[in-house]
Amino acid sequence: MPAPAASAAAHDWRDGVVYQIYPRSFADHDGDGTGDLPGIIDHLDHFGPDRLPIEAIWLSPIYPSPGRDLGYDVSDHTTVDPLLGTDQDFDRLVAGCHGRGIKVILDLVMNHTSDEHPWFLASKASREGPYADFYLWRDPSGWEENGTPLPPNNWVSFFGGPGWEWVPGRGQFYYHTFLVQQPELNWRNPAVEAAQWDMVRGWLDRGVDGFRLDVFNAYLKDPELRSNPVIEGNSPWARQDHRYDIDQPDFPELIERFRAIVDERPGRMTIGELFSRETELAAKYARDWHIVFDWSLMESRWTAAAYAASIDRRERSFGPDLWPTVALSNHDRERQATRLSASVGRDREPDRDAIAKAAAVVILGLRGTPFLYYGEEIGMVDVDIPRDEIVDPPALRAGPDFPWYDRSRCRTPMQWSSGPGAGFTTGRPWLRLGPDAADRNVESEVPDPDSVFGCYRRVLAFRATSAALRRGGMTRLESGAADVLAWTREAAAERLLVLVSFVGETRTVDLAGIAPGTSWTPRVGTRREPSAPSDHGRLELAPDEAVILESVER
């Protein structure tokens, strides 16, 4: 049976499209080579009915930071990093977005802070005082013969190396899931929770419409800090069963208290980033206006069989009453045009663009809130970054015992136009531009209906008018054709059929076999003029074609 539509208020922006902006790489207003908030304001017309009709933008961290993890090491959660602009710039950005009907989502990094945060500096200096217990400090578990302290347990860092750092002045270790410069907050201290809620209310007061929660299921740790069981794996992190450092039994109670704060303002939304890969866990933590990223599609190869399995798992896990997310890329993973084509040995042109267009139909055609990463609308690809230009700290440690994707590759500047700086900056870009920037850019793709941008614009415009795509139920069907995925979306009287070919060859689908007694007419797809069924109900899909059809009365 098809899943019923998600319950929707008069204006429910869960079913709209969210566009992720990595601020350092979107647009540089002042010419220093780094993107900034005024640069985003300069390009707000990129989002609109004639370009990309989206519902919200999500800003990766904009707070003051030493930049060791490029903004995810926060030294003050309450204001704007001078590198990116001022508080007044942020207020202008919110006003500019709201004037266009666009919501603003902030990235909240609440699991840890920078080691330059005033809280940590005070905590590090003394075991006494209001901030002494703001972080996970513990005594050594013992001492080696030479006097070296032994860590409290066997926890390691996700970024490689030990998870505990010794501070001689305090005579204790502190824990860090990520960089040593990112000490873990002690969420079991009520004062930490109160300080975080005050910060959240401050941003809500400034008009923020929602939050993305960084690694939110890692907030709480086992009260006894027990060692994790050791298992087989390809890295130190993977060789532990993370039973005691994430997903603690009382985490749902903590997150409900956070949701109560956000729900003080009706219509606000939150998105949790799950620091693990289980689809079922994402569904467990999802509620109404509080959705959770599910990574199953991002982990799948570009084949009909792999996507069918992921879609079935998602629909089974979330069921009819929970609203999922749809994301194929972000600031931590390969760009989809690169990853998907490479997963099937087709990382070349014109295959990359063809797959990027088909992926657009998948993202915008599945049930759930779609998340688009900046640059995907023009088919941007990963950029080779020389070692001496890498800005992703863990990537410099990568090796056989620590496999790591260099996230610098997917965070390169937005390609707005041809010419020096690609319209991103008048200075030297903080990360090198893609070698294809002169040809692959917004300026060249906007007037071309056959470009990746042309495909996104068509499908986004159709989705904005379609109740079935925005909030309808979904049923996956057997297409009867090898390498072709099929599903329906339904809401009220509108019934749509989505067909996606995963191969660069022609495929024929018997529509009568999929839905007997129904006639279909094409509405939109990867091609400017999507393929139409014959009088006998057979539809020939061009190589890599995806099409959305609507049922019509005979």
The token pair at 499 is 């067909």
Residues 158, 237 contacting (CB under 8 angstroms): yes
DSSP string computed for 494-549: EEEEEEEE-SSS-EEEEHHHHSTT-EEEEEEESSSS-----TTSEEEEPTT-EEEE
The token pair at 72 is 């995810």
d(CA 206, CA 256): 23
d(CA 401, CA 235): 5
| Sequence-ordered list of residues with C-beta below 8 angstroms from that of 544, at least 6 positions apart, any chain | 351, 354, 355, 357, 358, 501, 502, 503, 504, 526
Catalytic residue among 69, 184, 193, 214: 214
**Interhelix angle 336-343/351-365, nearest 10 degrees:** 110
Q: What angle do CA 399, 405, 410 make, to 5 degrees?
A: 150
Is residue 264 part of the annotated active site? The answer reads yes
Q: Compute the 3-state secondary structure of the chain and give helix, strand, coil in percent, each to the nearest 5.
A: 30, 20, 55
Which stretch of DSSP H or E encloses residue 292?
Answer: strand 290-292
The token pair at 195 is 């300080």
Is residue 214 part of the annotated active site? The answer reads yes
Residues 377, 353 contacting (CB under 8 angstroms): no
Q: What is the DSSP letter of 429?
A: -
The token pair at 83 is 């590198």
Q: What angle do CA 76, 78, 84 make, to 5 degrees?
A: 75
Which three-class secondary structure state does DSSP give residue 97? helix
From 76, 221, 63, 203, select the one nearest 135 (Cα to Cα). Answer: 221
d(CA 110, CA 217): 11
Q: What is the DSSP letter of 396?
A: G
First to last CA, the chain: 24
Which residues face 56 on adjacent strands? 18, 103
Instruction: Find out whether the peptide bond into 435 is cis, omega within 30 degrees of 0.
Output: no
Catalytic residue among 45, 256, 264, 321: 264
Residues marked as catalytic: 214, 264
